[in-house]
Every structure is written in C-alpha cells, then in structure tokens.
Amino acid sequence: MWWRSASFIMDRQRNEEADLKGDSSNPNPNPNISAYYETRAAHHGVVTSDWLAQAQAAIGPDPVPDPNPEPEPQLRPDPDKPFSVIDEFNSWRKQPHLAEAVAAIRALAAVIRSSKATTMMQLEIELKKASDFLKSWDTTSISLTAGCDLFMRYVTRTSALEYEDFNSAKSRLIERAEKFGEISYKARKVIAMLSQDFIFDGCTILVHGFSRVVFEVLKLAAQNNKLFRVFCTEGRPDRTGLRLSNELAKLDVSVKLLIDSAVAYTMDEVDMVFVGADGVVESGGIINMMGTYQIALVAHSMNKPVYVAAESYKFARLYPLDQKDLAPALRPIDFGVPIPSKVEVERSARDYTPPQYLTLLFTDLGVLTPSVVSDELIQLYL
Amino acid sequence: MDPSRRAPRAVIDPIPKIRQVGFFAPPERSQSGPPDPTHSSPPISSSLSPVMIPPPRHLSDNLLLHAPRPASSPLSAAAAAGGSGNSFDYGAVFFPAPLSPAIPSSSYSSRIIATTGEGGFFKGNGAGGGKVAASSFPRGGFDLTAMKKAAAASVVVPASELTTVSVVNDSLGIPEKEKGNKAGGSAVEVKDQPNSSKQQKPKLSKAERRALQESQRAAKAAAKGEGSKASGTVATMNAKPAKAVKPAQKVDNAAVAASEKKGGEIPPEKDRKKDAPQPRMQYDDKSRVEKAKRRAVVKQTEARNRVELFRHLPQYEHGSQLPDLEAKFFHLSPVHPSVYKVGLQYLTGDIAGGNARCIAMLQAFQEAIKDYKVPHEKTLVRDLTAKISSYVSFLIECRPLSISMGNAIRFLKSHIAKLPLTLSESEAKASLQSDIERFISEKIILANKVIVKHAVTKIRDGDVLLTYGSSSAVEMILLHAHELGKQFRVVVVDSRPKLRGQLLLRRLVEKGLSCTYTHINAVSYIMHEVTRVFLGASAVLSNGTVYSRVGTACVAMVAHAFRVPVIVCCEAYKFHERVQLDSICSNELGNPDVISNVLGREDVKHLDGWANIENLQLLNLVYDATPSDYVSMIVTDYGMVPPTSVPVIVREYGREQVWI
C-alpha cells in the first residue's frame, strides 16, 4: 500500500534520474538491460526487440551486424593495457555450459598469472581492483558478485603467504585459484549425484526456468534409467521452458509443457518442484527467475517439496526482506504487440523466495536445509 | 551442660567426610588440569545468576565458609596467625573441588530432607524447579547441580556453628589489625545467611534419627509437619511456620549468648537485604530493635501479596532498600565505593538498559581493580575473583543482572584466571584494565557501529519504521539513516509504566525526524502503514528467542500477522547459549507500586492501599520472550543473520573470546 504513495513515486523518478547519471561509471554500455540475460539470449539465438533495434542501428554505420558490441568500448580508454580482465571474462563467458561465476573465477585466476606485480600487497590490490571491476560489469548478477567474493576469500585466506618469498607465494596463489576454479566447475556434477536419492521411479517433477544444474540432475537421472515425468513451465518471455523441454525430449524423458499460469492447476499431479538459483542469500532464501516465488507459494500450500539445486559459489551475503529489497534486474519483455506509452510494464527478471517455502538445497557442500546457508556464510566470512 | 555435649557430637560426625574429601581432591585436579576449573566455575556463576538468585549466593557463601574451616584445626593446635593465613589459602584451593564428590553421597539424604522440610518454602522451590526442568533441558541440568550443591552444603551445617564461634574468637583475639576485623565481619555476615536456611534442614534429619530419644524434637517435628501440611495461599497459616521457627532456633542457640542474639535475627533475614543490615549488629540495641521492626513490616507485606506464579523470583518491598544503602554510603564496607555507587544507580533506575548497565559495571570494576591491593599470603587470581564475586552479589541485590552483564562478568573472570603468575601486581592490574577497556570498545561501542552500518541498508526512502520502547542501537540506526538523507517516518510505540519511548521520541524530534507516537494498545491500528519494525533486545538465546522488555513479543506478533519484517538489533555479546521457551522461568519483577499509579494523574487513586487486600496482587514484569518465528532478521556485529544461526554465532563468539 505504501508504495503507491506519492513520495514513493517521486523517489522512483529521482532514482531513475540517478541511474542515468550512473552510466559513466558502469562498463556495460546498456545498463538498463541485464548483461546476464543478454548473454543467455545470445547463447540460444533468441530474437528480442532490443536485439533487432541494435541490429538495425548497426546496419547504418556498418554493413555487418555485430551481436556483441560490448567489449569494444573497454579497449579504447586503455590502449596501453596489454591485459583486460573484461576480455578474459568475456572469452570465458562465451562458452554456453560455463557458469558466469566460474567464468569470473577463471578470469581472476588469469589476472594472477599475468600480473606483473613484485610484492604481495601489489598483487592483492590488483586482484581487488579486477574483482571490483568485474562486479561492476553487471551489478545485478548475484552469482557474479558472490563468485568474486568467494574467490577473493578463498585465495587470500592463507596465512603462509606472509612468510614466503613473492614467487613461491604467487605460484601458491595461482595453484589455489586453479583449484577453486576446478572445484566450482565440478560442482554441477556433485549436485547431480547428490540429488539422485530424491528422484524415484514414477515421480513427476515440476521445473521452472532453464537451470543448467537442474538439467544436469534430470540428465543423470535419465541416464540411470529412472522413469519420471517432467512438467516444464513455459517461462515467458524467454521461453526457457521450451528450450528445456526440447533438451529433455532428446533424452527420451517424458515432458509436458505448461503455460505459466497452469502451475496451480497441475500442482496436484506434481511430486516435487526443482528450481535453480541465481543466488542463495543469507536468510536461506533464493533469488531466481521470475515466477519461482509464485510456484513455491503454490507448492507450499499444497504440501509439495521444493528443492533448489545451486552451486555453493552462489551463496551471497545478502538478506532481502521482501521483493523490493533487491536492485531490480530489468530485461526486455516482448508482448508481441506494441505497448501503449502510458502503460507501465513490470520488467524485473527475478524474484526472491523466502526460506520457509523451500524444503532443501542441493549444493556441492551437501544437501542443506535453508537455515544452514547462514551458518556456512558465517563460518566462511567470519 | 547438655547443649555443650550435643555440639561436639554434631561436629564429630562430618569430620571424617571432610578428611576423605581432602584426600580425593588432588588426583581429580591432576587429571582434569588447570583449564577445567576456569571453565567449570564461570558458566555456573553466569548461567545461575539470571536464572535463580539464591543458589549462586549459597555457592559463594560456601566458598567463603570453607576457607576458615582449616583455621579451626590449626587454632586447636595453637597455630600462629601466619599459619592460619596459609591455611586459608590452602582451604580455598581444596574446598571448591570436594563439592562435586560430595554431591552423590549426600544427594539421597538431601532429597529426604527436602521432602520432609517446610512445605511452603520447599514446595515453592520444587514447583519452580519442576517448571524449569520441564521447559528447558540444558538449564535444568545447571539448576539441579546448583540445588544439589546447596543441599550438599547444608549437610555440613553443624560444623559451621563451631566455625562461627572460632571466627568470633579470632576477631576478638586480634583487635589490632583492621583488616582482620573487616575480614571477620564479612565472614560473620556471609556465614549468618546460610545458617538460617541450613539449620532447619538438618534438624529434621536429626529428629528422624533420634525420634525415640528426644520427645521435644519429635514435638517440634510434628509442629513443622503441621506447618507444611497447612501451607497454602492463606496468610494466617503462613504466619504459623514463621513463629514455629523462631523458638526452635532460640532454644538450639541457647549455649552462646552472642549466637542466641544472632539466631533471633536470622529468620527475618530470609529476604534479599542480608548484606545491608549486617554491620549494624555492632551498633547499640536501639537501632537493632528498629531494624527488626522494619523487617517485620516488610515481611508481612511480602507474605500477603506475593504473586503465586512468580514465587520462584525474588519479590520484596521496593523503596526500603535505597534509604538503608544511602545512609551507609560513607560507612566502611567491603564493597568498593564505585561499585556501591553503581548499585545505587541501579536501584534508582538512573542507569537503565543492557548496554548502559554493562558499561557502568565494567567501569566500576576498573576502578575497583585500580585500587585493589593483594593481601598478604594470598594470590591475586583467587582473591580478586572472590572480591569480584562479592561485588557481583551486591549488584544482584540492587537489581538482578542482565545477560549482557553476565557475559561480561564471565569474560572478566576468565581473564583473571588466565593471568600469568609471573606478572607483577601492577602489570596484572594494568592488563585487566586494558582488557575491560577493549571489551567495552570492541564488543559494545564498535559492535553498535557495525550494526548501524548493516541495518541502515534496510531503510529506503518512503519507509515507515516502527520501534518499541527505547533502544540505543535502534536510535543510532534511525539517526544515522537520517544523516544519510533518507526520507522515512518513525512510529514510536510506548507502554506504561516506564514510558521510555518518550525519551526516544524527544531525541528523534530534536534531530528533525518525522515521528508518530502511540501506545502499545493501538499497535494493531498503526501496523498497516508500517514497512519495517526495528526492535532492540536484552538478550538473544540459543533457540533464537529474543529476550527483551515486556511488550516486545506483542509488537513482533502483530507485525508478523501484518507480514511486516521484524528486525532485531542486538550485539553479539548479548547472545547466550541458554534455551528458554517462555518468560516465566526467568524474568525480573519490578516495583508493583509503579503500576498502581498513573503518571501525571495524582487524582487516580483506585489502587491505594492495594497491599492490604489479600486477594489482590500486582504483577509488574520487566521482560518477555519473543519466539524466533516472529523475527525476520537479527542484525548483529557479525552481519545480518536469521534466528536459526544464533548457535553458530554463540560458538564462534565463544571461541573468539578465548583468543582475546
């Protein structure tokens, strides 16, 4: 009720003006659209209105359309810099199966390798700057921020660095960085293994969004010759459900596609809900694709378990209290018809699901209850 | 001649037990090692003080009682004064350990004594103990241990009579040394307290053993039995057991004139003002008579209007303590003047709030440590710990400790115990003072700043924040958010009788914040426009329960029903490993007279003279317990955590405390 008040509307307009001013500090040339979703769209060849607009604009000055114009502005202000963490990150990011956080981790590891610092203090400062730069590339990506923070914590959390000479310390750092990247890369397989005990023959699973971890879980279950059925939500406007159902059909899994509003209608047929997570926050709740909260509410009221498959590098020290407590990750929404200019569109791409609606979290640290997330974060960051 | 013959028999019986216990003590120590005693004693004192006040007093009294016992045998052997000093230290070293082996041997006898004792007194304790055990398992263990120790100490009561006589002789024999007199006086003061409760229990056991020999004792036991059977809420029946107790004690103490006088005064000292009037025993008869009359008056009012549900908590007349303490401010006292002053401020309510009380207490301890001198033939670690314990007992009498103060005392005692023996006196004192200073600056002041930094991120433009009462952490958060230029409104909810929200309201309005003031009865009407609730806390317990001023649970539950997030701001040093499911087992009772008057309305006098109405009791609770289900987030100096993560903070905090 309070957010309809005049003061809130005025504050919102003021914030929009502040967003415009903040363009110069953000390395992303288009901050109104989450770079994360742009990358996902590029991976899967999804045509969006903004993409079309960029393509048409590109035709004018350049005959060949460039779908990834982002990296270019970064090279111009620093022509003398031989290495760019953004370039490294973008090259890793182009792999469709690599998580964004893992790409950031590998980019930071490359920073250590190519660093020309001669003291540990300089190396740490350089690493900190690279980490902050990466995080500012997309301030709305929780897994990116959490991955960078965990990497910094993991790599620099060794007291032996102070007593070694610089070269051996640097090599130790590189070793730990590589190890952390390897652990993070294998997290998906660990989670898939842990989740098999919860999938039984004849069960029906409802999934929402195209989470690569959830896909890995279902894939391994299919490979183990388990018979189960998957309900995919349509996942507008990205049509993630269509993509997931396509992938599952290739594995000979029985799939049913639902429109997003059909979740409550079919919940009585469902045995469990599987969702991924953009981020796992300190309260034990998750931040995921828009609609997850709605599905969790329905599942909770109908006593269906909600399982979350998420890597531990997505654990973030955030504590949202409600949906509006997070910075919105905006994305373009194509309704297929032109929208009148007076109509306001909710373009947030994700929502927050409180921990009381989640049953278990499948992570590479083990199968956790939501209340354990804070314990893990406290022990790691304390 | 008969009484003199009985006394030696009573003394002879416990001597073999003491000797056996003495032999057992050294091997236990060698096995457990030095860190175990430090771990064992602090949690008992800290966990007991907020739970049950009588047991820790007995424990400290027992320690002091055990110390002079070796003096009796050296005195009989005509030992020198120096020798007695050494024996004091020797006794202090040995006697704490024997308490634990003594428990199993005497547990059965103590239970028998308890069942056959005075029904009113013991039933009340039993009921409280039962509730405690039922509601919280880990704390029940502590209470049972404490009760066993108190009961075990009662078994050794007959020896204390002889000890009392010997101590009196000591004080008479060495009039030259003032310290000796002070020590003797304090020893007498301490000893008289347990005598009153202990003398009743063993007499019953004696009556059972010698029922055939003594017809008088059988008659007295029958009288006590009648008292226990008739015990209940009727006031007239409560008077009879008190009357029966007095003549019994007088007859038993007929041997010595001085002890007879003390015996006469012991019964009314069941109240919690035992330390205050003790020095007056040295004054003339007139003041003594006046004191007895005052005590009788206080006792009567207690008997009439005690709230049954909270009989396990100290209920005593307010307003009579302060004049006594003020009158004796300039008299010689074992309590350091700075601690004495802080106690008076607790009584008057000038210092209120967990942080303010804790800081004042620690600063008073700093002053006391600065002025402290190690007595001859004593070690700083043990003597200073005992002195701190006596100061804590005094502060508990002025007002029961909060959990934050208990944690701070535990911290201080652990640091005293860990002082290296190689340090000189001045170095040790400087180290302790810097430890206290660091505790105040890091765990309280710096923690508040971190809490403010975290909590401010949850305040957005357009928010309506609700707070209840007056919390220093919440006030700092609101002022800092205002300094950052955030546009929000504050709703201050208040409640009688203290109306502390008015003070907070005044400070916020001075800073230019937009405020709304209401009372707690209207909280459901205003909650629909609230977007966040910020609450302070006196303590956060292991199961996430928030222990705070009474009314907090009500506000949190209303906010939960309206789906408004409830944010509790609490420093980590206020976390405690105790588990509590309700606010009855442990609480603090305020002055009932406060709620019978309306501030600013002198004409409203409907409850004048409420103490004279037998069917009416006024209950002024100070704290309540908010279950963790109604708390959305706890902001502490370790970040923002859900209530389910409090045990992790307690564990990490405890470990960090050891590092310091």
**Stronger pLDDT, B511 or B154, i.e. the higher one:** B511
Contact A319 B567 (CB under 8 A): no
Q: How far is A267 from chain B (nearest CA, A)?
A: 25
pLDDT at A269: 87
Q: How confident is the model at residue A111 (pLDDT cuts 50, 70, 90)?
A: confident
Separation CA B38–CA B531 (nearest Å) = 47
SS3 B34: coil
Q: How far is B539 from chain A (nearest CA, A)?
A: 20
Q: Which of B376, B386, B334, B425 has its CA nearest to residue B92?
A: B386
- Residue of A7, A319, A379 to mutate when probing chain B, most B C-beta within 10 A: A319
Residue at B193: amino acid letter: Q
Contact B639 A5 (CB under 8 A): no
Separation CA B341–CA B347 (nearest Å) = 10
In a domain, A23, yes or no: no
Run of H or E residues at A307: strand A306-309
Nearest to A321 among B565, B639, B641 (CB): B565
Give the class (CATH, top level) of B320-443: mainly alpha
Separation CA B102–CA A236 (nearest Å) = 75
Range in B247-251, B292-296, B474-478 the model is least confident about: B247-251
Q: How confident is the model at residue B102 (pLDDT cuts 50, 70, 90)?
A: very low
Q: What is the mean pLDDT of chain B?
A: 62
Query: How many H-runs (helices) and E-runs (strands) does chain B carry?
Result: 28, 10
pLDDT at A44: 56
Q: For the segment B143-158, what is each residue's pLDDT rounded down to a tens digit?
A: 333 333 333 333 333 3
Q: How confident is the model at residue B137 (pLDDT cuts 50, 70, 90)?
A: very low
Cα-based angle B300, B301, B304 (whole degrees, multiple of 5): 85
pLDDT at B159: 32
Q: Searching chain A, which residue's CA lies closest to the CA of residue B649?
A: A378
A224 and A105 in one domain? no
Cβ atoms A333, A237 nearer than 8 A: yes
Q: How confident is the model at residue B381 (pLDDT cuts 50, 70, 90)?
A: confident
Q: What is the mean pLDDT of residues A87-112?
A: 77
Q: Which two structure tokens, joined as six digits, stand for B282?
A: 């040295």
Separation CA B366–CA B431 (nearest Å) = 11
What is the interface size between A and B, counted as CB pairs within 8 Å? 62
pLDDT at A364: 86
Q: What is the mean pLDDT of residues A284-292?
A: 91
Contact B645 A378 (CB under 8 A): yes
pLDDT at A220: 92
Contact B640 A284 (CB under 8 A): no
A229 and A95 in one domain? no
Judge whether B644 is closer than 8 Å to chain A, CB to CB: yes
Separation CA A14–CA A9 (nearest Å) = 9
Contact B645 A382 (CB under 8 A): no
Contact A322 B462 (CB under 8 A): no
In a domain, A199, yes or no: yes
- In chain B, pLDDT over 70 holds for what percent of residues? 49
Contact A325 B529 (CB under 8 A): no
User: CA-CA distances (angstroms) from residue B442 to B450, B456, B571?
Assistant: 10, 20, 10
Cβ atoms B380, B374 nearer than 8 A: yes
Q: Which two structure tokens, joined as six digits, stand for B575?
A: 């976390």
Residues from chain B contacting residue A8 (CB–CB below 8 Å): 461-462
Highest-confidence segment of A2-6, B107-111, B155-159: A2-6
Contact B642 A282 (CB under 8 A): yes
A235 and A90 in one domain? no
Determine the distance from the C-alpha atom of residue B369 to the mean position of all C-alpha atoms in its chain, rounded to a whole number.
Answer: 21
**Stronger pLDDT, B615 or A69, i.e. the higher one:** B615
Instruction: Provide the residue count of chain B.
Output: 660
Contact A1 B644 (CB under 8 A): no
Q: How far is A371 from chain B (nearest CA, A)?
A: 6
pLDDT at B308: 66
Whether residue B512 is predicted with pLDDT greater than 80 in this model: the reply is: yes
Cβ atoms B578, B541 nearer than 8 A: yes
A196 and A159 in one domain? no
Separation CA B382–CA A40 (nearest Å) = 69
Contact B532 A321 (CB under 8 A): yes
In a domain, A362, yes or no: yes
Separation CA B333–CA B335 (nearest Å) = 5
CA dihedral sign, ordered B204, B209, B211, B214: negative
Whether residue B68 is predicted with pLDDT greater than 60 in this model: the reply is: no
How does DSSP assign B548-567, residue by residue? EETTHHHHHHHHHHTT--EE
CATH number at residue A173: 1.20.120.420
pLDDT at B438: 80
Q: How confident is the model at residue B465 (pLDDT cuts 50, 70, 90)?
A: very high
A255: β partners: A230
pLDDT at A157: 55
Q: Searching chain B, which residue's CA lies closest to the CA of residue A2?
A: B529
Nearest to A11 among B461, B644, B649 (CB): B461
Residue A203's φ and ψ, nearest 5 degrees, are -90, 160
pLDDT at B219: 57
The range of the structural domain enclosing residue A280 comes to: 190-333+347-381
Nearest to B462 among A2, A319, A381 (CB): A2
Q: Which of B227, B232, B333 has its CA nearest to residue B277?
A: B333
A225 and A243 in one domain? yes
pLDDT at A55: 55
Whether residue A104 is predicted with pLDDT greater than 50 in this model: the reply is: yes
**Which residues lie closer than 8 Å to B75 by C-beta, 6 or more apart?**
B84, B166, B169, B170
CATH number at residue A354: 3.40.50.10470
A222 and A149 in one domain? no
Judge whether B451 is closer than 8 Å to chain A, CB to CB: no
Contact B565 A322 (CB under 8 A): yes
Q: How confident is the model at residue B317 (pLDDT cuts 50, 70, 90)?
A: low
Count of domains observed in chain A: 2
Highest-confidence segment of A152-156, A215-219, B251-255, B347-351: A215-219
Whether residue B288 is predicted with pLDDT greater than 60 in this model: the reply is: no
What DSSP character marks residue A310?
-
A199 and A279 in one domain? yes
In a domain, A24, yes or no: no
In a domain, A65, yes or no: no
A374 and A357 in one domain? yes
Residue B352's φ and ψ, nearest 5 degrees, are -135, 160
Cβ atoms A136, A27 nearer than 8 A: yes
pLDDT at B174: 32
Nearest to A382 among B464, B567, B638 (CB): B638
User: CA-CA distances (angstroms) from residue B272 to B60, B282, B390?
Assistant: 15, 20, 14
Nearest to A374 among B532, B567, B641 (CB): B641
**What is the phi-psi region of residue B112: left when phi exceeds 0, alpha when psi lies from -120 to 50, beta otherwise?**
alpha
Whose tokens are 């019986």? That residue is: B13
Cβ atoms A146, A314 nearer than 8 A: yes
Determine the distance from the C-alpha atom of residue A260 to the mean position of all C-alpha atoms in its chain, rounded to a whole number.
Answer: 21
In a domain, A156, yes or no: yes
Q: For the segment B15-60, what is each residue's pLDDT rounded down to a tens digit?
A: 333 333 333 333 333 333 333 333 333 333 333 333 333 333 333 3
> Which one of A187, A213, A238 terminates a domain?
A187
Q: Which of B559, B482, B483 has its CA nearest to residue B526?
A: B559
Whether residue B216 is predicted with pLDDT greater than 80 in this model: the reply is: no
In a domain, A94, yes or no: yes
Residue range(s) of every CATH 3.40.50.10470 domain in chain B: 458-587+622-658
Residues 539-578 of B with CB under 8 A from A: 565, 567
pLDDT at B183: 36
Nearest to B632 among A7, A8, A321 (CB): A321
Contact B645 A321 (CB under 8 A): no
Q: For the segment A220-235, what is each residue's pLDDT rounded down to a tens digit?
A: 999 898 889 899 998 8
Whose tokens are 């949906």? That residue is: A323
pLDDT at B568: 95
Nearest to A374 among B460, B532, B642 (CB): B642
Contact A375 B645 (CB under 8 A): yes
Cβ atoms A299, A268 nearer than 8 A: no
Judge whether B636 is closer than 8 Å to chain A, CB to CB: no
Q: What is the mean pLDDT of residues B104-132?
A: 32
> Which one of A187, A213, A234 terminates a domain?
A187
Residues from chain B contacting residue A374 (CB–CB below 8 Å): 641-642, 644-645, 648
Q: b or e along B36-65 (b: 16 or more beta carbons within 10 Å of the residue's beta carbon)?
A: eebeebbebbbbbbbbbbbbbbbbbbbbbb
pLDDT at B277: 32
Q: How far is B656 from chain A (nearest CA, A)?
A: 10
B458-587+622-658 classified as CATH 3.30.420.40: no
Residues from chain A contacting residue B630 (CB–CB below 8 Å): none
Q: Which of B95, B96, B90 has its CA nearest to residue B41?
A: B96
User: CA-CA distances (angstroms) from residue B321 to A90, A290, B275, B298?
Assistant: 75, 64, 11, 11
Contact B648 A378 (CB under 8 A): yes
- Strands A228-233 and A254-258: what pairing? parallel
- In chain B, pLDDT over 90 holds for what percent of residues? 19
In a domain, A259, yes or no: yes
Q: Which two structure tokens, joined as six digits, stand for B86?
A: 């050494």
Q: What is the mean pLDDT of residues A79-97?
A: 64
**Which residues from A are below 8 Å from B when comparing CB atoms?**
1-3, 5, 7-8, 11, 282-284, 317, 319, 321-322, 324-325, 355, 371, 374-375, 377-379, 381-382
Q: How far is B645 from chain A (nearest CA, A)?
A: 6
Separation CA B210–CA B231 (nearest Å) = 26
Burial class (CB in 10 A: 0-12, 13-18, 19+), B131: middle
SS3 B493: strand
A262 and A225 in one domain? yes
Q: Which two structure tokens, joined as six digits, stand for B448?
A: 């508040």
Separation CA A85–CA A78 (nearest Å) = 12
Q: What is the mean pLDDT of residues B232-249?
A: 35
How does DSSP assign A126-185, residue by residue? HHHHHHHHHHHHTTT-HHHHHHHHHHHHHHH--GGGGGS-HHHHHHHHHHHHHHHHHHHH
Q: b or e along B257-278 (b: 16 or more beta carbons within 10 Å of the residue's beta carbon)?
A: eebeebbebbbbbbbbbbbbbb
Nearest to A374 among B487, B565, B645 (CB): B645
Separation CA A270–CA A206 (nearest Å) = 6
Contact B464 A2 (CB under 8 A): yes
Q: What is the mean pLDDT of chain A?
A: 76
Q: For the segment B179-205, what is each residue's pLDDT rounded down to a tens digit?
A: 333 333 333 333 333 333 333 334 444
Whether residue B628 is predicted with pLDDT greater than 80 in this model: the reply is: yes
A357 and A243 in one domain? yes
Whether residue B551 is predicted with pLDDT greater than 90 in this model: the reply is: yes
pLDDT at B311: 62
> Which one of A160, A187, A214 terminates a domain?
A187
